[in-house]
Amino acid sequence: MSTVLKYFSVYILSGIKFIFGPALGIIAYDLPIVAVIALTALGMMTTVYLFTFFGDPIRRFLKKFRKTERKVFTSRNRRFVKIWRKFGLKGVCFLTPLILTPPGGAILINVLGTKKALIIKWMWISAILWSTIICLLASYVEGFRDMIQLSN
């Protein structure tokens, strides 16, 4: 696989499910840790920007194809509101890479009407923090795996 495709796959996967980027980039592809940290944060933030600035038009477009009206009070919606009330903006941004996934966290925050500047600010902080932590952990796991292989 070409190097560009490896970097691109880390970037794309980080926008869908955050933890896949570092796992793929460091453990599977053995890419430089600084590059994987940057690509992981950028992948997540691309998704966040997409849903923050284009979420309403996307929702309106998809609504045209729905045959029935969606229920407002579903167990999933209640769970999102419970998370929002319990943790607030900073908490949801902090949990997004680990639990909610970048699309899930971005949708939740935007639906509840938070200012776009605050969303971007706290999501960047969360993306950089978690990409660094997860990449360092993946690097440690890979180093541990190499150490075990050398001892055999």
pLDDT for res 146: 65
| pTM summary value | 0.85
Q: What angle do CA 19, 97, 29 make, to 5 degrees?
A: 20
- Which position has the higher pLDDT, 13 or 147? 13
For residue 149, what are the contacts with CB-CB under 8 A and spacing of at least 6?
A: none
Has residue 9 got a pLDDT over 90? yes
pLDDT for res 147: 63
pLDDT for res 140: 87
State how far the Cα of 133 lies from the Cα of 129, in Å rounded to an integer. Answer: 6
For residue 80, what are the contacts with CB-CB under 8 A and spacing of at least 6?
A: 108, 111
Contact by Cβ (8 Å): 40, 135? yes
What is the number of residues in the chain?
152
The domain ranges of the chain are 3-151
Least confident piece of the model among 7-21, 47-61, 119-133, 137-151:
137-151
Instruction: Give Cα 35 distance to the centre of its chain.
Output: 17
pLDDT band at 92 (very low <50, low <70, confident <90, very high): very high
Instruction: Indicate the average pLDDT of the chain.
Output: 89
